[in-house]
């Protein structure tokens, strides 16, 4: 089957490459020349484990182009996988979706199925169908399908090839038949429904996971007050099959391209329809406050950060990605800089993107050891393996004063007890606390 995918970000490129792995011939379309040039050289413009390997493996089935009109004209199925960034009011910006939809309408010369893979508000597929039909230049039949993605950055390839379900929102049996032909090679269970329900499944799923994260962070904050251990609490909760153990890792909040945007978008949509989802509203508020948790902890040890040498381990919102969107580092580092701190940071994957925001204001290091040398404080924002596997005794040796404020609970409390490190984490007692 000849498939075209519009967009080469996390959703579009991962979808395209995984479709080629299933044996389809796939053309990737983007408007950014630099991205297409990289892809044609076999390089991914995003950091995603396993993606470049699949690109190489299936290069005979993959084409990358700026020529959208030629790509769309004779496609069997076209996936729209462009971004839907957040507007200032919290609603989803659908400009890029509509831009692609118009170009598709003006370019297609045969009957085809158009699949909205981007995360869009409930009712968007219906509006896109009307918009495309109004802009068709040729006498062709189109079906619009909702097919939301459920990938997670850092595990996106696995999440696509081994998804727990494939959600397909269709209006007729023909579109369902075509979509089954697209996905049957994956051998995964289907949820076939109407388009509005498919759109809602996406938002309801993401927002429920965000709720779990905010809930466990609230419990973690209370654990600190009553001297309970959040990791033991989460373990006990997670063994209950009704709750499950996923997304119960306490920390400094969720980030990335999905949860912050999707919670705000669903909240906005509810308000637009004169309804309030109070749980989602609370999750958003909790998450914003949680991002500042480490700064609040650090003020127990220093009233001001002026002149302090501060080490930052991890810049991205989670490990195994170079994505900085809604990363806690972007909330905390400006505060530290404003107070006159000297910042050294280490994140070999996130550094390139972070330099675009702070090219000269902080020092980027080549190792954890270099980052820690002569530091008064260390903040851990991302639970990279290089952080979790680091020899904790080196904090004592390298830092001017070994105070480690860990936003991701990377280390064992019993091991920290054996050191002189002041170790302050999330939802657990502080180790070697100053008296």
Interatomic CA distance for residues 164 and 373, integer angstroms = 45
Count the Cβ atoms, other than its own, within 10 Å of residue 297. Answer: 21
By C-alpha distance, which of 149, 199, 141 is closest to 169? 199
Q: Taken in order 202, 203, 204, 210, is the CA torsion positive or negative?
A: positive
Q: Are 387 and 410 in contact (CB under 8 A)?
A: yes
Q: Are 168 and 221 in contact (CB under 8 A)?
A: no
Q: Are 311 and 332 in contact (CB under 8 A)?
A: no
Alpha-carbon torsion angle 358, 352, 284, 241, nearest 10 = -150
Q: Are 26 and 3 in contact (CB under 8 A)?
A: yes
Q: Exposed e or buried b for every residue in 304-336, given b needs 16+ CB within 10 A?
A: ebeebbbbbbbbbbbbbbbbbbbbbbbbbbeeb
**Active-site pick, 18, 112, 223, 258:** 258
Catalytic residue list contains 258: yes
Q: Are 253 and 210 in contact (CB under 8 A)?
A: no
Interatomic CA distance for residues 139 and 108, integer angstroms = 9
Active site residues: 258
């Amino acid at each position: 089957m000849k498939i075209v995918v519009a967009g080469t970000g996390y959703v579009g490129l991962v979808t395209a490459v995984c479709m080629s792995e299933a044996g389809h011939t796939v053309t990737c379309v983007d408007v950014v020349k630099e991205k297409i040039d990289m892809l044609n050289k076999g390089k991914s413009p995003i950091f995603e484990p396993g993606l470049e390997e699949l690109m190489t493996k299936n290069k005979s089935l993959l084409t990358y182009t700026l020529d959208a009109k030629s790509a769309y004209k004779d496609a069997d199925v076209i996936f729209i996988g462009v971004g839907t960034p957040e507007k200032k009011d919290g609603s989803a910006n659908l400009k890029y979706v509509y831009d692609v939809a118009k170009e598709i309408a003006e370019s297609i010369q045969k009957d085809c199925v158009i699949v909205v893979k981007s995360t869009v508000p409930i009712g968007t597929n219906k509006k896109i169908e009307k918009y495309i039909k109004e802009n068709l230049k040729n006498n062709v039949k189109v079906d619009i399908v909702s097919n939301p993605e459920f990938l997670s950055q850092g595990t996106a390839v696995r999440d696509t090839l081994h998804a727990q379900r494939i959600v397909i929102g269709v209006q007729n049996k023909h579109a369902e038949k075509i979509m089954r032909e697209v996905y049957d090679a994956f051998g995964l269970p289907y949820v076939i429904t109407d388009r509005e329900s498919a759109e809602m499944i996406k938002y309801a799923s993401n927002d429920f996971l965000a709720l779990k994260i905010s809930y466990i962070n609230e419990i973690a904050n209370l654990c600190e007050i009553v001297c309970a251990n959040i990791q033991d609490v989460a373990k006990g909760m997670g063994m209950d099959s009704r709750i499950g153990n996923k997304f119960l890792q306490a920390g400094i909040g969720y980030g990335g391209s999905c949860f912050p945007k999707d919670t705000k978008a669903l909240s906005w949509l509810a308000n637009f329809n004169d309804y309030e989802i109070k749980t989602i509203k609370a999750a958003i508020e909790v998450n914003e406050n949680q991002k500042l948790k480490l700064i609040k902890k650090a003020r127990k040890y220093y009233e001001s950060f002026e002149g302090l040498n501060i080490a930052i381990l991890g810049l991205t919102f989670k490990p195994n990605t170079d994505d900085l969107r809604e990363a806690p580092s972007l909330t905390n580092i400006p505060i530290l800089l404003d107070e006159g701190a000297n910042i050294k940071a280490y994140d070999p994957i996130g550094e390139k993107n972070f330099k675009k925001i702070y090219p000269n204001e902080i020092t980027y290091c080549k190792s954890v050891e270099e980052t820690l040398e002569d530091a008064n404080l260390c903040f851990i924002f991302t639970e990279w393996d290089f952080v979790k596997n680091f020899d904790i005794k080196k904090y004592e040796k390298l830092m001017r004063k070994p105070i480690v404020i860990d936003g991701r609970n990377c280390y064992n409390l019993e091991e920290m007890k054996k050191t002189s490190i002041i170790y302050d984490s999330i939802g657990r007692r502080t180790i070697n606390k100053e008296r």
